[in-house]
Amino acid sequence: MAQKNNPWETDLPPETPDAGGEAVRRAKPEPLRIAKFSGVKNDFKFPVKLVAGILVLLWLASGFYQIQPSDQGVILRFGKYVDTTSAGLHYHLPYPVEKVIKVNVTKERSINLGVTETANIPAQYYNSNQSSVALNSFTESHMLTGDENIVDINLTVVWRIKDAKDYLFNVRSPDVTVRVAAQSVLREIVGQSEMQPIITGDRGLVEEQTKAELQKVLDDFGAGIVIVRVKLQKADPPKQVVDAFNEVQRAKADMERFKNEAEAYRNEVIPKARGEAAKRLQEAEAYKEAVVNKAKGDAKRFTSVYNAYKQGKKVTSQRMYLEALEDVLAKSETVVIDPSAKGANVLPVLPVKK
């Protein structure tokens, strides 16, 4: 009897009813069924490719992005900086190859030094750490001046982003950096100034110096930040010594008032004295000119009389005699009548003045 290698083969004819052979044939895989299954699988190839293509197109289309006029777009490729884009429609390699970070470069941000901003502090932390928050505010606001006084200052710094790349990658915490730099710069400027000009003088000078120096520090850091403005909200002496300081200020105000009154009196007296001196000097000059001119005139008159006297001594002597009598008698109240005029019609004069 031949040995059978294939357990699925049998010597029984197909038409022979055999329960065991029928069970074996049912258990054997049928080629017809495999062919039918393969046909069903081939029918799904086209929809799968279509869906895959659509997904690829959607993935590629996800690289388009819009940058608003107020923003800058920073492109990162696998986390590394690639480029900065401005306003408009742009494209980058889809995620996760590249991604874009949009940064608003026109929005103005602000920080306040010396003011406890409780709105940014959780209520639970603030309630449990009020003493710590108050201590930080006190430390920020109280600064030592150049004349060894303490001044309580509140300062507001308004800034915006100038370069999105530098802002994102050059400093770890931009808000903290601006706050610390502003506090350091303000302390330096206050430490080089006296208390009186800071409190009652031109605050604009302190603001301009703080803005310029703070911008220089941030540029050295490469922070990509521009300082828009700096506003000195308050500059007062500490509350503990405000009464004594006010007394000093009132005394200084009185000193200034007395000084101004003295200056006004001096400005009134000195010009008047100078005017009187100029008047006296002009009068003296005029008197000198008059005396000199009169002397010169008398000298000329004497010279002319002398010259006439040399021409006719008798006539000149008689004329001089008559002029002298005329001058003397004109000043006398006594009337002298020539005796030879007795027969003349002489009208006596009543001496009214006597």
Task: For residue range 307-348, list pLDDT tens digits in order.
Answer: 877 787 787 788 888 888 888 877 777 666 666 655 556 666
Average pLDDT score over residue span 226-234: 88
- Position 85 scores a pLDDT of 83
Q: What is the C-alpha to C-alpha distance for residues 167 and 177, in angstroms, rounded to an integer?
A: 11
DSSP state of 33: H
Indicate whether 231 pLDDT > 50: yes
Per the model's pLDDT, the better-predicted residue between 350 and 257 turns out to be 257
Q: What percent of the chain has pLDDT over 90?
A: 17
What gap in Å lies between CA 275 and CA 322, rounded to an integer? 49
Confidence of residue 39 (pLDDT cuts 50, 70, 90): very low
pLDDT grade for 36, boundaries at 50, 70 and 90: very low
Burial class of 22 by CB neighbour count within 10 A (0 to 12, 13 to 18, 19+): exposed
Least trusted range by pLDDT, from 7-11, 86-90, 303-307: 7-11
pLDDT tens-place string over residues 118-150? 444 444 444 444 444 344 555 677 888 877 778
Least trusted range by pLDDT, from 188-202, 268-282, 340-354: 340-354
**What CA–CA distance (Å, rounded) separates 87 from 70?**
8
Does the structure show a pLDDT above 90 at 285? yes
Place of tokens 């520090």: 217
- So what's the architecture of 109-237 in CATH? 2-Layer Sandwich (3.30)
The residue that leads in pLDDT, 85 or 295, is: 295
Q: How confident is the model at residue 2 (pLDDT cuts 50, 70, 90)?
A: very low
Dist CA 204 CA 222 (whole Å)? 27
Q: How far apart are CA 24 and CA 191, in angstroms?
A: 104
Q: Which residue has the higher pLDDT, 275 or 91?
A: 275
Is 154 within 8 Å of 115 (Cβ atoms)?
A: yes
Domain ranges within the chain, ordered by starting residue: 19-58, 64-104, 109-237, 249-323
The pLDDT score that the predictor gives to residue 206 is: 85
Instruction: Print the SS3 string covering 71-89.
Output: EEEEEEECCEEEEEECCEE
